[in-house]
Amino acid sequence: MTRWAALALLLGGLAAPAGAQTILDQEQRLIEIHSLLVAVPALEAPGALAPLQGRFALEVITIPAIDGSVGTKTQITASDQAPAFPRLRAGVGLPLGGAWRAFAGLAWIPPVEVHQVSSNMLGLEAGAAWSSGPFSAGLRLHGAWADSKSPVTDPATRDRLVTRIGGGDLSAAWRFEVGPVSLAPYAGVGLARVDGTFTVTSDGHQLASATTDLGLSAGLRLLALGQLEVVAELVAWPGVLVHPGFALGWAPRFGKSEPAP
């Protein structure tokens, strides 16, 4: 068994539901899982951006093994198509004064079709954080909309999932300076309202799932030379989905901004 296969089994076990489920429960659960995959996790430590400091990142969102069993049938899931998907992310730090910092940003998945799969996704976020020395804590609000198309009920079809997510989270970080490198482990907790509508294109049948999900996260941000950034984060939606994400970014400063954190 490979390392990735073992990891997939572990994550699948952590996200396994308890108790018996009806066919409707199973279908709605698949909608919930696939909707949460396109949610916008922080993938950043609170207060990381100084005023007038930008952030441009490429994220890699991993897809754990998803069981597509629905009664006696098996639907095609995201993990049958790919182990991960990319997402573009950008943000900018905003001045608040004193020990406070704010930021605003957006995330985007362009609707490029690969292996009959495409997702047109737009996410928005904004937040504020308080920093004192190496410690920072912040509040972030986020929202996302996605229109995803892929074979689900049959390999020859392209079914559609429209996802709407809104929520917020609280997080805290502690920064360590190691020569030219800054390390900031962080953790957060939040809630998200998740609404997904799945449409079977062959007959127009629709199924909806609406849930409020608890989210837990833990990550590590590495900043080198003041501008090169690498972030790894593990996101857990208990009982539903557990998966890591990674980001490689550039964080330039514009104008006369204060030093990067």
Q: What is the pLDDT of residues 51-100, one digit of tens each?
A: 999 999 999 999 999 999 998 899 999 999 999 999 999 999 998 888 99
Asked if pLDDT for residue 229 goes beyond 50, the answer is: yes
The per-residue pLDDT for 9 is 42
Q: What does DSSP say about strands 100-109 and 181-199: parallel, antiparallel, or unpaired?
A: unpaired
Average pLDDT over the chain, rounded to whole?
A: 90
What local confidence, expressed as pLDDT, does residue 129 receive? 98
Instruction: Tell me what the mean pLDDT of segment 173-181 comes to.
Output: 93
* The 3-state secondary structure of 25-83, one letter per residue: HHHHHHHHHHHHHCCCCCCCCCCCCCCCEEEEEEEEEECCCCCCEECCEECCCHHHHCC
pTM of the model: 0.87
Check pLDDT > 70 for residue 17. no
Assigned CATH class of 3-250: mainly beta
pLDDT at residue 11, as a whole number: 43
